[in-house]
Amino acid sequence: MLCENHTVNEGMGDDGPRVAGPGEQTSRRALRLAAQADSAGPTVAAESPATTTEAPTPRPRRRASFLGVLGELLITAGVVALLYVAWQMWIGDMIIGSQKHSEASALSQSWLQQPSETPTASGSPSASPSAAPTAPADAVVPVMAAQDYGQKFGVMFIPRFGPNWQFTIAAGTGRHDILDAGEIGHYPDTAMPGDVGNTVYAAHRWTSGAPFDPIDKLVIGDAIVIQTPDGWYTYRFRTLEYVQDTQVEVLLPVPQQVGMAANGRYLTLTSCAPKLNMLERIIAYAVFDSFTPTSAGPPASLTQGVTA
Amino acid sequence: MYAALWRILPGPAWVRVLILLVLLAAVLYGLFWYVFPWVGQFINPQEATVGG
């Protein structure tokens, strides 16, 4: 070992196996310099071949060099950047989505536990929830008053998106305080759930929990259910459409029909398309199916799951 | 930097690996639950509404 030879020579003075010469004097001086500069190795070796055994003793550990630390920091920054991409694409939506599901579930449950002001028509409500009476589309459907901006007034269920899929609905479609917060935003000045006209909602398709991520997986007849303190409004999905972001006609009382008076109960969802992009908007249209009061228990559209 | 971290950890190698895994989990939790959502506010590149 080079270092052992060197130590022995130092301890034994000039009794070492090699002849001390001018080269060694030079190299010793170089060694002292090397102890400070940590980079004199090549210089020593260049002075005389005999001094190659006089390499500086490696310390038990190398001091971290500036470049070494910088390199590790840059590698770390690169890994963190890649982690961010993975978070934004997949992990974050799972985390935020499950948080929002819990929030929506808690709100939904709080409405169920409130004693209903309207007495049940007949029988016990919990006996057969799926057979509970549901009002036909032309019956009187309760409609809540327009809500203040940011008020969470409903919970949306779409069984096609999964049994746990549920998000709160907030009034307004502000980018940062509503959509980026993982809410489904209700367009102001469109109908409230159950009202005659068009009730329109927007939500992100990725990031912020991605409520409308699977919007293009909807099948004709799929239930889109909105729960409010009054009960459940069931809409049935009809069709998708892709439009420009300037196409505000999708918000009209009869979607895309300029100048036509409200003639039915429509529901419209808007989100971005293609996914991960904002060139266009994807629009999902649905029509009103039935209303189920809270006292009657969850409607069949929620309890029976999806067909096919 | 990381070599220094390895040196200052106590115990045999498997204990150090265990400690490092726990540290890594803590760092990932902090990033995924707090740092990245905060960063996302500023670089969230999408619109979901019509009519701007």
Q: What is the DSSP string of A72-84?
A: HHHHHHHHHHHHH
The residue behind tokens 């039935």 is: A290
**pLDDT higher for A275 or A121?**
A275
Q: Is the predicted pLDDT of residue A148 greater than 80, yes or no?
A: yes
Count of structural domains within chain B: 1
Residue from the list A96, A206, A270 with its beta carbon closest to the beta carbon of B50? A270
Return the residue of A nearest to B28 by Cα: A83
A213-269 confidence digits (pLDDT tens): 899 999 998 999 999 998 999 999 999 999 988 888 889 999 888 888 888 899 999
Assess if residue B44 is contained within a domain: no
Residue type, A101: H
Per the CB < 8 Å rule, is A277 touching B46? yes
pLDDT confidence of residue A58: 53
Q: Report CA dihedral (A179, A180, A181, A185) to the nearest 10 degrees.
A: 0
The residue behind tokens 């999902």 is: A284
pLDDT confidence of residue A181: 85
The dihedral sign for the CA sequence A170, A174, A176, A179: positive
pLDDT confidence of residue A127: 36
pLDDT band at A287, cuts 50/70/90?
A: very high
A91-114 confidence digits (pLDDT tens): 888 888 899 999 999 998 898 887
Per the CB < 8 Å rule, is B48 touching A247? no
Per the CB < 8 Å rule, is B1 touching A73? yes
| CA A36/CA A43 separation, integer angstroms | 14
Assess if residue B25 is contained within a domain: yes
pLDDT confidence of residue A1: 36
> Judging by DSSP bridges, how do beta strands A231-244 and A184-186 pair with one another?
unpaired
Assess if residue B19 is contained within a domain: yes
In this prediction, the residues of chain B whose per-residue pLDDT falls under 70 are 44-46, 52
Assess if residue B47 is contained within a domain: no
The nearest CA of chain B is from the CA of A278 a distance in Å of 6
Residues of A in contact with B49 (CB under 8 A): 173, 175, 179, 185, 187, 202, 245, 270, 281
List chain A domain ranges.
2-54, 89-303
pLDDT confidence of residue A295: 86
Mean pLDDT is lowest, of A67-76, A121-130, A160-169, for A121-130
A6-50 confidence digits (pLDDT tens): 433 444 444 444 444 444 455 555 445 445 544 444 444 444 444
CB contact set of A61 (below 8 Å; sequence gap of 6+): B3, B7
Query: Which is the CATH superfamily of the domain at A89-303?
Result: Sortase (2.40.260.10)
Per the CB < 8 Å rule, is B46 touching A206? yes
The nearest CA of chain A is from the CA of B34 a distance in Å of 11
Count of CB pairs separated by less than 8 Å, A with B: 89
Q: In Å, what is the CA distance from A132 to each residue of A214, A221, A233?
A: 30, 20, 14
Assess if residue B49 is contained within a domain: no
Per the CB < 8 Å rule, is A202 touching B48? yes
The residue segments making up the domain with residue B11 are 2-39
Reported pTM:
0.70
Q: What average pLDDT does the segment A75-87 reach?
A: 93
Q: Which residues pair with A281 in a beta bridge?
A: A243, A272
The nearest CA of chain B is from the CA of A270 a distance in Å of 6
Tokens of A9: 């020579």
pLDDT band at A288, cuts 50/70/90?
A: very high
**pLDDT higher for A132 or A109?**
A109
Per the CB < 8 Å rule, is A80 touching B32? no
Across chain A, mean pLDDT equals: 77
Assess if residue B52 is contained within a domain: no
3-state secondary structure B10-45: CCCHHHHHHHHHHHHHHHHHHHHHHHHHHHHCCCCC
Q: In Å, what is the CA distance from A65 to each residue of A30, A31, A58, A226?
A: 21, 20, 15, 61
